[in-house]
């Protein structure tokens, strides 16, 4: 029976029922130090003379993993702005479905009482207007807010704060009905989907009141794995994700597990266990994997795993 599940899972992985992409600004992805403008399709904000800003760069000063990160820098040659407008934008090759899209990244802001640093997923409505689909910001006072309507109205997340020079992982899940925001793998805010348009790109912008933000390890996927018949899949959780060394699993008892496996995206099984104790994944290379669980009563569950 295990063999049959393994074959089915490998067919799922190679069949392409979902798409997953990562951006970590490394040389292996053809990024180089210096301006982000025109690197791999990125565009940097232009000034009034149609010249792109000079301080929105790939930097080796900070990174959450690897050597490089994007530095959303203060622009000393310009005045503070009422709204965040300085930064960079990335358009997707093809729009991402608003019915099933997950987006995550790491962000670190260098100082409080400076700028607001916003990340926004955006789409195009029926009138060809650019509109926010979801967005979240590290607010200058150390608070965190989300963008809660098409007018970019801010809604502060209760009890959510950030600390200067500390990396925070943010994940946004977009479905046809809801937007869910996670901070370091903890659900922090849920609201209805207020636009219901496909996502065509994202940007990172600030309003130039001081300080810098570093962004790293973008990961986004659309589509569904289609392998989840747990009676209570919402209780199953793997963390931390992304993971460096030890992966923890909750929501299932060891006596329920027939097989717990980790696969690469070519469907090759790299690890197999029969318990949900802490998994040592330090030997895995950095990249994207799938963790598959088969229970003794024949149910399955699959989660994406990002290895730092």
Point out the domain boundary residue: 173, 193, 223: 223
Q: Do 142 and 216 belong together in one domain?
A: yes
Q: How distant is the alpha carbon of residue 306 from its chain centre?
A: 10
Q: Is 222 exposed, middle or buried (0-12, 13-18, 19+ CB in 10 A)?
A: buried
Q: Residue 226's pLDDT is what?
A: 43
> DSSP label at 97?
P
Beta carbons within 10 angstroms of residue 74's beta carbon? 20
Shared domain for 77 and 121, answered yes or no, is yes
Per-10-residue mean pLDDT for the chain, 308 residues long?
41 47 93 97 88 95 96 96 96 89 96 98 91 97 96 95 98 94 95 94 98 96 56 68 86 85 81 86 87 82 81
Q: Which domain holds residue 263?
A: 2-13+226-307
Q: How many structural domains compose the chain?
A: 2
Q: Are residues 179 and 52 both part of a single domain? A: yes
Say yes or no: 102 and 209 in one domain.
yes
């Amino acid at each position: 029976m295990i063999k049959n599940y393994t074959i089915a899972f490998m067919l799922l992985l190679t069949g392409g029922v979902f798409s997953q992409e990562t951006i970590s600004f490394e040389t292996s992805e053809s990024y180089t130090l210096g301006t982000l403008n025109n690197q791999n399709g990125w565009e940097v904000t232009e000034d009034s003379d149609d010249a792109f800003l000079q301080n929105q760069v790939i930097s080796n000063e900070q990174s959450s993993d690897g050597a490089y990160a994007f530095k959303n820098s203060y622009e000393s040659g310009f005045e503070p702005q009422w709204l965040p407008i300085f930064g960079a934008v990335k358009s997707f090759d093809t729009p991402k479905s608003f019915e099933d899209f997950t987006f995550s990244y790491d962000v670190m802001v260098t100082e409080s009482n400076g700028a607001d640093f916003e990340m926004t997923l955006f789409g195009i409505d029926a009138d060809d207007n650019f509109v926010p689909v979801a967005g979240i910001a590290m607010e200058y006072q150390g608070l965190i807010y989300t963008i809660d309507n098409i007018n970019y109205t801010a809604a502060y997340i209760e009890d959510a704060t950030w600390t200067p020079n500390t990396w925070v992982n943010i994940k946004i899940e977009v479905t046809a009905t809801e937007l869910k925001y996670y901070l370091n793998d903890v659900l922090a805010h849920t609201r209805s989907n207020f636009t219901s348009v496909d996502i065509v790109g994202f940007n990172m912008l600030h309003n130039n009141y001081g300080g810098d933000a570093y962004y790293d390890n973008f990961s986004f996927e659309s589509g569904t794995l289609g392998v989840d018949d747990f009676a209570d899949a919402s209780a199953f959780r793997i963390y931390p994700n992304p993971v460096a060394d030890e992966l923890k699993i909750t929501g299932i008892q060891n006596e329920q597990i027939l097989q717990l496996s980790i696969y690469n995206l070519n469907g090759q099984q790299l690890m197999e266990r029969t318990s949900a104790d802490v998994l040592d994944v330090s030997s895995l290379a950095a990249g994207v994997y799938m963790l598959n669980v088969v229970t003794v009563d024949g149910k399955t569950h699959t989660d994406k795993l990002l290895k730092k």
